[in-house]
Chains A and B, each alone.
Chain A
Amino acid sequence: MQQNWLGMRPEDLSDQERTLLERDLQLSAVHRAELNFGDQLANLPYLGGVVVLDDVRNYAERMGPFEAPKRANTWIYGLPILVVVALMLIVMAVSNRTAQSPPSVSPDSSAQIDQMALVGQPEGVLLEASARGLSGVERRIDSGHSVFASDRIVFAVQAKGTGHVVMGDVRTGERLFPDADRTMFVESGEQSLPYVYQLPATEKSVELRVLFCSKPVPGDRFPQQVPEDCRSRSFQLNRFD
């Protein structure tokens, strides 16, 4: 075992090292020789010029105030690492964000697709409705139910397959939704219609119908006969007396 502590001053030795020296005379002799060799350096003289306090004062006045010695800022060597780590984190954050959040489809992007040109395969359609009264309470209604003239009726379609949706009044031939020469192409699932219906005050009963067609239904009127390529569902509403 390497004993580097040999040659150290007695006050710098540990208790264990002192005990070792007391027990081992040979080790003690080596230690003393090493210490004596080092202590020779204390006896080397200095024969330079004699410095007195006036020299110091004059020098201090001539040189002006000193700056306190600055400690080496070793932490500064860590800065490049921090910068690299920060850049890596930013890159990871950006790439994760892109991975987790696919580019959102803006409302306008659907307009970029010409829905009028789409051809669907309608298999079936259901029409559901709910009425919201003046109190704000919303209630589910089925075909044949009665509503107040003040009720706001909201519709939703349950579609199977794909196709264009259009809704209208069967008896008057009025096209309610969507507007003329517009269409709403839906896929399987439930879709709320962005349309609110209110029973005409002059009518005691209406028959509404939703068409689910492979092609858009053109014109500003609602067909009284169900076209061949469409599936349909009627919905009758009565007015409370």
Chain B
Amino acid sequence: MNISPIEKVTEDSSDEALWQNFLREDDVSFLWLVERYREQVGAYAWRMVRDLGMSEQIVVETFARLYDLKPKLRGRFRLLLFEQVHTLCGIAKKRLSDRHSEPTPAFGGGRPGSPEEAAVRGESRWRLEVALSQIPDGHRACLLLYYAHRLNPSELAALLDMREHQVPGQLSYARRLLRDYQRMED
């Protein structure tokens, strides 16, 4: 692999510039990527596995995998990142179902039972979170990766094992499901 010298990057540099610098053994670039994406990764994991402890573990493991596998990974950073998260979420879901644990609902208003959670009850965001937690995993992943995490249709297709031309249809159906569940909450 042709490794060029470390370029000067800042906290505001693009994902790809930071990732390329990290491939040249610049850990500071990776630190900025962690800072930039840890909440997004955590949010996705949380909403997919519906378990707070597990989602925090997924965040750490996702970045640890990127850190460890960097010489073998090729592609756009955001796609590499969400490939890891999505894979880990699948593994975590299986572990949770094997343990027969009661999943913690992925509510965005704080830990269940906390004052923060109570404060957001009744808000439209609460209803959205509840509806989102009720739709099937595949449709939830599709909506989150496209709207919340800004993956493009080709990346989404690669990640969710479908054809690119199927993405708009999947998103349309997932939005309809989400809206239907949201209405049921009203």
Contacts and interface: CB of A to CB of B under 8 A. Distances in A.
B108 A12 contact: no
B134 interface: no
Given A48-B55, A51-B38, A7 B175 contact: yes
A68 B63 contact: no
A46 B168 contact: no
A90 interface: no
Nearest to B153: A12
A47 interface: yes
Interface in B65-93: 65, 67-69, 72-73, 83-84, 87
Tier of interface size on chain B? 35 or more
A45 B108 contact: yes
A8 B128 contact: no
A169 B63 CA distance: 107
A42 B147 contact: yes
Interface string B149-186: 01011000000000000001101100100110000000
A37 B179 contact: yes
Given A46-B43, A49-B56, A60-B64, A7 B72 contact: no
B148 interface: yes
B18 interface: no
B144 interface: yes
A38 interface: yes
A139 interface: no
A8 B110 contact: no
A45 B108 CA distance: 6
A71 to B, nearest CB: 10
A59 B55 contact: no
A41 B34 contact: no
B147 A41 contact: yes
Interface string A46-68: 11111111011101100101101
A49 to B, nearest CB: 5
B50 interface: no
B168 A60 contact: no
Interface of B: 27, 30-31, 34, 38-40, 42-43, 46-47, 52, 55-56, 59-61, 63-65, 67-69, 72-73, 83-84, 87, 108-111, 116, 125, 128-129, 132, 143-144, 146-148, 150, 152-153, 168-169, 171-172, 175, 178-179
18 contacts: A4-B168, A4-B169, A4-B172, A5-B168, A7-B171, A8-B168, A34-B175, A41-B147, A44-B47, A44-B125, A44-B128, A44-B148, A48-B52, A53-B63, A66-B64, A66-B69, A68-B72, A69-B84
Closest 4 CB pairs of A and B: A46-B43, A38-B147, A4-B168, A60-B64
Given A48-B56, A48-B59, A51-B63, 9 more contacts: A11-B152, A44-B128, A48-B42, A51-B60, A53-B27, A56-B67, A60-B68, A63-B61, A68-B73
Interface of A: 4-9, 11-12, 34, 37-53, 55-57, 59-60, 63, 65-66, 68-69
